[in-house]
A = this chain, B = another copy of it.
Amino acid sequence: MKHILLISTKDRSGLIYQVSKILHEAGLNIEKNDEFVDRDAMIFFMRTQIAGALDEKWILATLQNALDKDAHITLKPMAKKSLIILATKENHCLGDLLLRYDSGELHAHIQAVIANHNDLEGLVRRFDIPFYCVESSDDRQAHEQALTDIIDRYCPDVIALAKYMRILSPMFVARYAGKMINIHHSFLPAFIGANPYKQAYERGVKIIGATAHFVTQDLDEGPIIAQDIIKIDHTFSWQDMQKAGRNVEKSVFAHALDLILHDRVFINGNKTIVF
């Protein structure tokens, strides 16, 4: 059995020694180890992949005892996570995840897809995955309650907004803080908000891009997980940009999700650390 140990704590000397000592004494082998110190905030981050049978409680208690009281310590089995996908009408990010799921490549169980339109129902059902349509309505609170009812039935580890084109309330976002990721169709912080391709067309840029980020209360302002771009030229209409952009949207989103599903991402204030 393999586990992932995640630690973030105030930086001081000897942390790697202390952690590796405890793991060593527990007879565990460190297969892969990554550390980083944020020198502005003086926070130490560590992700350790451990092999060997372990007593989870003992490890956590011993580590908590050795490190600072307020150290964040998590120990998780290396296993597929449960995933809910939210979408609207576009099939490319969602479909890409469904294909990866179908081939066994996705490190997750897709529990359900929820959309605010029913355009994607056929696609999702083809893959034998539950599909829920929760149509947008003027009563945002009722709408989000309906979403929450479905989501909480599944207790997902991760919620992936695969081009879910509706703004979510701070209350909804707070409920799933640190679990919900989004794909924005521009290289943030450029072109925040609606129709970034039209904005890009009007500005006459020579690159377009996509940004996967955690969802926070400020629209398009959450911690960035991954970004990439493609080059364009003057012959691209904004519809051409949109078409070309889908390729980078889906690859960035799938990559960011893969990182999340392997516990390779720490949130550090408004930034991420990606091991």
Please tell me if the beta carbons of A189 and B187 are within 8 angstroms of each other in the complex. Answer: no
Copies of the protein in its oligomer: 4
Residue in B127, B234, B254 whose beta carbon sits within 8 Å of that of A126 in the complex: B127
Shortest A14–chain B CB gap in Å is 5
Q: What mask results when residues 14 to 44 of chain A are scored 1 for a CB within 8 Å of chain B, else 0?
A: 1011001101100011111101110100000
Please tell me if the beta carbons of B205 and A207 are within 8 angstroms of each other in the complex. Answer: no
Question: Which chain A residues in 222-275 approach chain B with CB under 8 Å?
Answer: 223-229, 231, 233-235, 237, 243, 246-247, 251, 254-255, 268, 270-274
Please tell me if the beta carbons of A234 and B204 are within 8 angstroms of each other in the complex. Answer: no
Please tell me if the beta carbons of A36 and B235 are within 8 angstroms of each other in the complex. Answer: yes
Q: What mask results when residues 198 to 224 of chain A are scored 1 for a CB within 8 Å of chain B, else 0?
A: 000001111101000000000000011
Contacts of A223 in B (CB 8 A): 204
Segment touching B, from A78-86, A97-105, A131-139, A147-155: A97-105
Closest to A213 in B: B204
Closest to A212 in B: B206
Please tell me if the beta carbons of A16 and B37 are within 8 angstroms of each other in the complex. Answer: no
Closest to A237 in B: B39
Shortest A3–chain B CB gap in Å is 15
Asked if A65 CB lies within 8 Å of chain B CBs, one says: no
Q: Within the assembled complex, what's the spacing in Å between the Cα atoms of A251 and B250?
A: 10
Residue in B36, B92, B205 whose beta carbon sits within 8 Å of that of A99 in the complex: B92
Asked if A146 CB lies within 8 Å of chain B CBs, one says: no
**19 A-B contacts (beta carbon < 8 Å):** A13-B24, A13-B29, A14-B20, A91-B102, A91-B103, A92-B103, A95-B103, A99-B123, A126-B127, A188-B203, A188-B205, A203-B224, A204-B223, A204-B271, A204-B272, A207-B228, A207-B229, A209-B229, A234-B268
Asked if A172 CB lies within 8 Å of chain B CBs, one says: no
Q: What mask results when residues 113 to 148 of chain A are scored 1 for a CB within 8 Å of chain B, else 0?
A: 000000000010011000000000000000000000
Contacts of A28 in B (CB 8 A): 13
Q: Which 3 A-B pairs have the closest CB atoms?
A: A204-B271, A126-B126, A17-B20
Asked if A190 CB lies within 8 Å of chain B CBs, one says: yes
Shortest A31–chain B CB gap in Å is 7
Please tell me if the beta carbons of B207 and A227 are within 8 angstroms of each other in the complex. Answer: yes
Q: Within the assembled complex, what's the spacing in Å between the Cα atoms of A246 and B99?
A: 12
Contacts of A268 in B (CB 8 A): 234
Asked if A176 CB lies within 8 Å of chain B CBs, one says: no
Shortest A212–chain B CB gap in Å is 9
Contacts of A16 in B (CB 8 A): 16, 20, 30, 33
